[in-house]
């Protein structure tokens, strides 16, 4: 399965948005941010220098990335006035030194380590959201260049074979084998196969700790949960749907599942 282009993701999300009036504002925000990502033309990536996780070699135009972060903050503040107070310290702190240090550490560690000192508690999640969009053109370019060079069937890990990120979405697939599963990287949108019986976030495979809840009409979605690490993975069952969408679109259409999972006490696995 080759990941969708940014243009395909935008077109599919735009045509789905009218069918989801209950989350229209969120979908329109993501659509506007994806359009900003699509306007950036990232330089070619040196795949060999960026082995899975060695992201300090990622070829990023830091000026363009910081401009994208600024545009993401402005768009989010304009569309979500309720977040204005939370976003203000980030907008005030957006200088090259803070941005580059924070973005490099986010790439390397997978979570935010630097925040403005006067920020609220939920600032980390928002800054990760901004960084994820601001770095997306370069991470997607890396995935496009690297995926053809990787033997995905041999990877066998829950972390992304391109950038080392965690998956935030999955699909149950018919091909190549019934019952197979494909994961979607939360950072670079790479897709790779991983066994359905193990948690991709912690590797646990005890049947009594791995479960799922069916969600939505016709069994389209499943929320896989892991009692070993407390993590969850939103999943679409492509064996039962007849309108398959890019996984990067399904990730956005299922924002309600994230809310449900977090309310049920699941979340990102604890950091080492
Ligand atoms: Zn990745
Ligand atoms: Zn787990």
Domain limits, the chain: 40-148, 153-263
Element (H, E) at 11: helix 6-16
Q: How far is the CA of 66 from the centre of ligand 2 (A)?
A: 34
Low-confidence ranges of the chain (pLDDT < 70): 1-2, 118-121, 176-178, 269-272
Ligand at shortest distance from the CA of 55: 1
Q: How far is the CA of 197 from the centre of ligand 2 (A)?
A: 11
Residue 104 phi, psi (nearest 5): -60, -45
Ligand at shortest distance from the CA of 150: 1
Residue 176: is the preceding peptide bond cis (ω within 30°)? yes
Q: How far is the CA of 210 from the centre of ligand 2 (A)?
A: 8
User: Taking the alpha carbons of 100, 138, 20, 246 in that order, is the dihedral positive or negative?
Assistant: negative
Ligand at shortest distance from the CA of 107: 1
Ligand at shortest distance from the CA of 233: 2
CA–CA distances in Å: residue 217 to residues 124, 211, 222, 236 = 34, 19, 11, 12
Order of strands, sheet of 180-185, starting from the edge strand that comes earlier in the sequence: 191-193, 180-185, 167-173, 232-237, 221-226, 210-215
Q: What is the pLDDT of residue 272?
A: 44
Q: What is the pLDDT of residue 2?
A: 66
Q: What is the pLDDT of residue 1?
A: 54
Q: How far is the CA of 159 from the centre of ligand 1 (A)?
A: 8
Q: What is the pLDDT of residue 57?
A: 86
H, E, C per residue of 226-238: ECCCCCEEEEEEC
Q: How far is the CA of 217 from the centre of ligand 1 (A)?
A: 30
Return the CATH fold of 153-263: FdhE-like fold (3.90.1670)
Q: How far is the CA of 182 from the centre of ligand 2 (A)?
A: 16
Q: What is the pLDDT of residue 37?
A: 97
Q: Which residues contact 91 (CB under 8 A, 6 or more apart)?
A: 70, 73, 74, 77
Q: How far is the CA of 52 from the centre of ligand 1 (A)?
A: 8
> What's the token pair of residue 81?
């006035």
- Report the C-alpha gap between 234 and 57 in whole angstroms: 31
Ligand at shortest distance from the CA of 183: 1
Ligand at shortest distance from the CA of 224: 2
Ligand at shortest distance from the CA of 198: 2
Ligand at shortest distance from the CA of 228: 2
What is the pTM assigned to this prediction?
Answer: 0.94
Q: How far is the CA of 17 from the centre of ligand 1 (A)?
A: 26
């Amino acid at each position: 399965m080759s990941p969708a282009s940014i243009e395909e993701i935008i077109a599919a999300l735009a045509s789905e948005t009218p069918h989801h009036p209950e989350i229209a504002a969120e979908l329109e925000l993501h659509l506007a941010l994806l359009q900003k990502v699509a306007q950036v033309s990232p330089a070619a990536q040196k795949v060999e220098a960026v082995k899975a996780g060695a992201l300090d070699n990622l070829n990023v135009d830091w000026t363009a990335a910081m401009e994208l972060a600024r545009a993401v903050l402005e768009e989010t503040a304009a569309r979500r006035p309720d977040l204005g107070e939370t976003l203000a310290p980030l907008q005030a702190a957006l200088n090259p030194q803070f941005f580059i240090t924070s973005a490099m550490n986010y790439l390397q560690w997978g979570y935010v380590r630097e925040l403005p000192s006067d920020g609220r508690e939920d600032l980390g999640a928002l800054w990760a959201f901004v960084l994820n969009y601001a770095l997306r053109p370069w991470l997607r370019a890396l995935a496009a260049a690297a995926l053809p060079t990787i033997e995905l069937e041999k990877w066998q890990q829950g972390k992304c074979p391109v950038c080392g990120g965690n998956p935030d979405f999955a699909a149950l697939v018919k091909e190549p084998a019934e019952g197979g599963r494909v994961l979607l990287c939360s950072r670079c949108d790479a897709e790779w196969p991983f066994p359905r019986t193990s948690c991709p976030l912690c590797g646990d495979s005890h049947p009594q700790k791995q479960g799922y809840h069916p969600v939505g009409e016709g069994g389209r979605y499943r929320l896989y949960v892991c009692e070993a690490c407390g993590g969850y993975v939103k999943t679409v069952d492509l064996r039962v749907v007849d309108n398959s969408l890019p996984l990067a679109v399904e990730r956005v259409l299922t924002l309600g599942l994230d809310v449900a999972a977090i309310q049920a006490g699941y979340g990102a696995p604890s950091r080492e």
